[in-house]
Amino acid sequence: MTLEGNSVAEVGDVHHRTRRRWPALLALAFGAVAIGLTEFVPSGLLPQIAADVLGAEYARSQSGAVAHAGWMVTAYALGVVAGAPLIAALTARLPRRRLVLGLLVLFVAGTLASALAPSFELVLAARFVAGLPHGAYFGAAGLLAASLMGPGSEGRGFAIVLSGLTAANVVGVPAITRLGQAAGWRVAYLVIAAVFGLALLAVAATVPDTPAADSSPAAELRSLRRPQVWLTAVTAAIGFAGFFAVSSYLAPVTTEVTGLSAGAVPWVLVAMGLGMTVGNALGGWYADRDLRRATLLGFTALIAASAFFALAVTSTPGLFAGAFLIGATSLFLGPALQSRLIAVAPGAQLMGAAVNQSAMNIANSLGAAVGGAVIAAGLGYRAPAWVGVALAVVGLALAAAGFTLDRRRPATR
């Protein structure tokens, strides 16, 4: 074969690999769509959930019952926190494709149990179980996507998987929220379980087989002894909590502060989802070029967006603009924080990726709980946004401290 013939064959091979790569990447992102639905749909349905499973309390105090129902968000987040490092350690040698498929099966089971549980306590238990595979999924799927994208593409690989989360918030969460408002929140969760089932089939059909992971439980656990891993995790857990303090209570902000009808809630979620889409795309690109600057810029922007939201939500344009900015700035940070944790945990990529998801869901738990506490204390539905400002300021300070430590010792990246 001539040199020209070799070149044509190589181009054809690259084209073939590219055609096979994108269906696999889309399937992995579709799994994240389902995760976005199960994680964020409660934000728009808390009043309906409270009225259903906390009926007596709801009759006495609607705001108190809505704040109590926010523990659904917290229970899911606690499941993520517990499951991510545990599953990462136990499955260190498992091929990533097989791990992703097993995690999707667990998602289907946990989501079905959430829809069918007869009492609030059992709903909380089911939400905890449904949260267990969350962190390991984003870790394993993100690593699969990064390997499909090629070397030096960690940020973009994770951004592709996270794009499913943003797509869920643009289209899926508003649609499922509207369905839940019309047919009941339990019907909404049955549909979400079906979406997980479709994601399972898509991954099985398109993602290629992978060899056993080049790691071990001992190596994954040893990464937890690195101070920078814990500092970065704490940075994400505290700094990102403000986003969840705001997003968990978007429904009552829309109806009680801005004065719009419940029918406007899905459109506010669309605005936040569009912001998340823009922020995620920019964040993945920027994180691969300048991880430090992407992280510090992201926290600074999140502080400004949270303050704007608190000040502007009394008007309809302010509500929609604030929701967009909160979504954009928070998801701009997502790929950077994920890449940072992988960078400070060399030799234990799955644990680094999973710990980031644990940190994000400590943020979810902390944000929802603190947001509910300030609302229950009578400070109003705008108070969580001011809490978000304070938490993001702490996150910025911790991130700056972490990068300062990098300059004092040999950097991992």
pLDDT at 105 over 90: yes
Mean pLDDT for the chain overall? 82
At residue 126, φ and ψ (nearest 5 deg) are -65, -40
Query: Tens of pLDDT along 73-85?
Result: 778 878 887 887 7
- Lowest mean pLDDT segment, chosen from 129-143, 212-226, 243-257, 382-396: 212-226
Query: Tens of pLDDT along 296-348?
Result: 999 999 999 999 999 998 899 999 999 999 999 988 988 888 778 777 766 66
- Lowest mean pLDDT segment, chosen from 126-130, 211-215, 245-249, 360-364: 211-215
395 inside domain: yes
From the number of C-beta atoms within 10 Å of its C-beta (0-12, 13-18, 19+), residue 216 rates as: middle
63 inside domain: yes
- Provide the pLDDT for residue 174: 80
- Provide the pLDDT for residue 218: 63
- Provide the pLDDT for residue 4: 46
Residue-range definition of the domain harbouring residue 301: 20-408
Does 376 or 92 have the greater pLDDT score?
376
- Provide the pLDDT for residue 53: 79
Domains identified in the chain, total number: 1
Q: Provide Rg for the chain, Cα atoms.
A: 21
CATH code of 166's domain = 1.20.1250.20
- Kindly state the percentage of the chain with pLDDT values over 90: 24
pLDDT at 212 over 80: no
Alpha helices in 150-290 (DSSP H): 154-167, 173-183, 185-206, 217-222, 227-239, 241-247, 250-252, 265-287
CA dihedral 335, 173, 85, 285 (to 10 degrees): -10
Q: What is the mean pLDDT of residues 239-253?
A: 85
68 inside domain: yes
- Provide the pLDDT for residue 192: 95
383 inside domain: yes
Reference 385, options 303, 297, 277, 274; nearest CA is: 303
Reference 117, options 20, 190, 215, 41; nearest CA is: 190
- Provide the pLDDT for residue 347: 60
Q: Which two three-digit tokens encode residue 15?
A: 């084209």
13 inside domain: no
Query: Tens of pLDDT along 337-384?
Result: 877 877 776 666 667 667 777 787 778 778 888 888 888 888 888 888
Does 166 or 202 have the greater pLDDT score?
202
DSSP class per residue in 334-349: HHHHHHHHHHTSTT-H
pLDDT confidence bin for 396, thresholds 50/70/90: very high
Reference 334, options 365, 301, 312, 367; nearest CA is: 301
14 inside domain: no
- Provide the pLDDT for residue 151: 64
Residue with tokens 């030096």: 152
Highest average pLDDT, of 71-80, 202-211, 216-225, 325-334, comes from 325-334
Q: For the chain, how long is the longest CA-to-CA vector? A: 83
Does 88 or 348 have the greater pLDDT score?
88
2 inside domain: no
262 inside domain: yes
